[in-house]
Chains A and B, each alone.
Chain A
């Protein structure tokens, strides 16, 4: 196959590096938070490890509690939810639009569902903690620009196939970072492209729908939504009491899939009705949606299972993007691949820093961006556990402080080491805080995953800190670690 013209390759390379540098920090934040958000359910369990998981209550008891919540003016909101137990979150939960409660073995609301840290992390990934109307577009724009980076990355490397297995580790730091960047990028490209396109979907489907409605339906967005998703039932004179057990029995006769949750629409009004979300095995579809009146009479479904291809694609995006299929093994795969994309962001900027052959304020600042993010995430987890808040300040305050501190550093390598030590220390502190709040539940089924993850993280950081010091002993960068005016540039 003939190589593309040199000018074209150069143009693509310029485009790739300029665009990459421009969005690196934001893309890095979206990637690292997304990789962790794959375990949102597990984080939710870890935040409240004392909730009942072993003896699940009977449906009749849940029905009673659910109706009590619906009739409680302090708790009820327009939509009320009953979340069924799943492999990753084996608990019953009743939730309003504002708060939630786990149910004990008698079906009574027992412990409040603390999801502060899980929410904080998922909001960081979904909105970057910006107001949701703006944040969703900014994050989805990252999906578009990631697509651009994938396209330009492939076009700017004519030897990408020939070099597909090359990793020059001993020659120079720049070649090391370049090969790592390229190898991670090439082989993971199908996954990254999927993430980019599905990520763009969440924000821009609304914009595309509005634009489509403007020209095709005279601006009537509701008309498009009704045509695609069907119309909501219009009920009257519905009784207050919801026959949950009847609804679940009726749904089980129609569909034997995994029940995800039930939603009551227009809760407490005469027009209330129930939607039951049931997920299918071996399908990416988030679920089929079945509608019932409060007495358990079947009203119809949204027909995602047999609906048009477009409808199925749209409703399959969520599970595909977040790796919510096939249990823990796929979550782990998504985490590994997501962290590889995070590393690609880091190595991309490192290549540029190493090309410059000097250091300035950008080097320690980039170290702060990279190592300050996990540190701030851990600090936010500590404050969520202690203060019961999802405040974005708990993440952004330490993050901005890290960046400000970087401005006083004149050696990126030393500053990076300090941040790594701070990361390890804060991870240990987080474990201690968890013990002090919930006792020795660290190795209970609800907490073990995050406990092991935090211990592993501390272990990895310790290894890399020792590794760097070992290099220092061999005098390859000894001056870098000791002399305030020199250092290596990579993070």
Chain B
């Protein structure tokens, strides 16, 4: 293994241990340990970059945080005690057509309408950017899932579908009119 990567991994492990101590209340000065954890994580990623180049370094440095954290979680919560599972009764339930219908409507608004609105909004946005086509498309493809996902979350969280429908339909219409003229 590349020495820079090994040092990077150790630095990240120490950084996550700092988070662990701060967030589990094992130290009094939580903010200091949290800040130290952040600094060490950034330093760990920089060491990764030194070892494998900045592209792979940033990606692998960020992904390895997950594995290190899970190892700490499993290590500190290891127990031989078994999980107590409760007995539950069987009921002969059937799908409720009203619920199915409501799910379908939510899908139409929260996924399809949100998708149409975000495609129009993103297209308008990238048309306004003063960059070359490839850069505008790259920006668009990163912005699209975030915007679409955000609209989806918002409309799925609403009890009534009327407000999200009106707002997203209006946004899509205004953007498309703007694009056409």
Contacts of B150 in A (CB 8 A): 148, 151
Are B85 and A471 touching (Cβ within 8 A)?
A: yes
Q: Which residue from chain B places its CB closest to the CB of A163 in the assembled complex?
A: B23
B-facing mask of A151-179, CB < 8 A → 1, else 0?
A: 11001000001101101011011001000
Closest CB in chain B relative to A276 CB, distance in Å: 22
Are A360 and B149 touching (Cβ within 8 A)?
A: no
Are B145 and A358 touching (Cβ within 8 A)?
A: no
CB-CB under 8 A for A358 and B88, given A19-B153, A22-B107, A148-B153: yes
A-facing mask of B1-44, CB < 8 A → 1, else 0?
A: 00000000000000000011001100000000000000000000
A308 contacts partner chain B, Cβ-Cβ < 8 Å: yes
Per a CB cutoff under 8 Å, which of A18, A167, A194 touches B156? A18
B-facing mask of A300-324, CB < 8 A → 1, else 0?
A: 0000000111110110100010000
A-facing mask of B60-86, CB < 8 A → 1, else 0?
A: 101111110110111011010111111
Are B83 and A173 touching (Cβ within 8 A)?
A: yes
Per a CB cutoff under 8 Å, which of B119, B136, B139, B145 touches A207? B119
Per a CB cutoff under 8 Å, which of B20, B74, B81 touches A170? B81
CA distance A309 to B74 in the complex (A): 40
Closest CB in chain B relative to A8 CB, distance in Å: 9
Closest CB in chain A relative to B156 CB, distance in Å: 4
Are A310 and B139 touching (Cβ within 8 A)?
A: yes
CA distance A486 to B86 in the complex (A): 9
Contacts of A152 in B (CB 8 A): 153, 156-157
CA distance A12 to B153 in the complex (A): 7
Are B23 and A162 touching (Cβ within 8 A)?
A: yes
B-facing mask of A319-333, CB < 8 A → 1, else 0?
A: 010000110001001
Contacts of A282 in B (CB 8 A): 52-53, 55-56
CA distance A477 to B66 in the complex (A): 33
Per a CB cutoff under 8 Å, which of A170, A361, A486 touches B84? A170
CA distance A200 to B145 in the complex (A): 7
B98 contacts partner chain A, Cβ-Cβ < 8 Å: no
B163 contacts partner chain A, Cβ-Cβ < 8 Å: no
A480 contacts partner chain B, Cβ-Cβ < 8 Å: yes
B122 contacts partner chain A, Cβ-Cβ < 8 Å: yes
CA distance A325 to B59 in the complex (A): 11
Contacts of A316 in B (CB 8 A): 55
Main secondary structure of the interface of B (DSSP, over half): helix
Contacts of A461 in B (CB 8 A): none
Q: Which residue from chain B places its CB closest to the CB of A155 in the assembled complex?
A: B153
Give the top 10 A-B pairs by smallest Cβ distance, nearest first: A310-B138, A310-B134, A147-B149, A282-B53, A15-B157, A310-B135, A11-B157, A148-B149, A15-B156, A360-B93
- B residues near A (Cβ < 8 Å) are 19-20, 23-24, 52-53, 55-56, 59-60, 62-67, 69-70, 72-74, 76-77, 79, 81-94, 103, 106-107, 110-111, 115, 119-120, 122-123, 126-127, 131-142, 144-146, 148-150, 152-154, 156-158, 179-180
- A residues near B (Cβ < 8 Å) are 11-12, 14-16, 18-19, 22, 141, 143-145, 147-148, 150-152, 155, 161-162, 164-165, 167, 169-170, 172-173, 176, 183-184, 187-188, 190-191, 194, 196-197, 200-201, 204-205, 207-209, 211-212, 215-216, 224, 227-228, 282-284, 307-311, 313-314, 316, 320, 325-326, 330, 333, 336-337, 340, 357-362, 410-411, 470-471, 474, 476-477, 479-480, 485-490
Beyond A205-B141, A308-B132, A360-B92, 12 additional pairs, beta carbon < 8 A: A14-B156, A18-B156, A141-B111, A145-B111, A147-B145, A170-B81, A183-B70, A187-B65, A200-B144, A201-B141, A228-B134, A310-B135
